Amino acid sequence: MASLRESVGPRLAQVAFAAAEADQAALLDEIAAPGSGYRLIVAERGRALVGFTSLRPDPVTGLGELGLTAVDPAHQGHGTGRRLIEVALAALRDGGMRAAMVGTDGDIDHDPARRLYAAAGFNISVPALHLYRAL
């Protein structure tokens, strides 16, 4: 969030991203809720949870969505994220999905996620813009 806030400046950030952490927590709650349509895949080291990803298949369209993926910073750089994505894509394939999509932000804080997704073969993008102005 820091780079997103920095990119719009403090005046806009206090409005545009005021609830960013709460929104992220609500999204996590939604993904983990029974009946959400998402499936969680977790990575553990010993008894510690070190990462997770989520997926949601759409049997009508055949498009599977990867939701949030996160790896504890202390465990990053060891292939955990890549393995989580591989397992999620295999589950989508096994579930009859014909394609997969994932979304991420374009700021510098999301560079590692974009590299991970590119390494997993996500190489077609549809650019989107969020434009802001102070009132």
Going across the sheet that includes 63-71, the strands are 39-45, 48-58, 63-71, 99-102
**Residues 49-79 pLDDT 10s:** 999 999 999 999 999 999 999 999 999 999 9
**Interior angle at CA 129, CA 128 and CA 133, nearest 5:** 165
Contact (Cβ atoms closer than 8 angstroms) between residue 25 and residue 45? no
What does the pLDDT read at residue 42? 96
Domain assignment of residue 74, yes or no: yes
Domain assignment of residue 46, yes or no: yes
Domain assignment of residue 134, yes or no: no
Give the CATH number for residue 43. Answer: 3.40.630.30
Domain assignment of residue 78, yes or no: yes
Range of the domain at 86: 34-119
**Residues 73-106 pLDDT 10s:** 999 999 999 999 999 999 999 999 999 999 998 8
Residue 118, Cβ neighbours under 10 Å: how many? 11
| Count of structural domains within the chain | 1
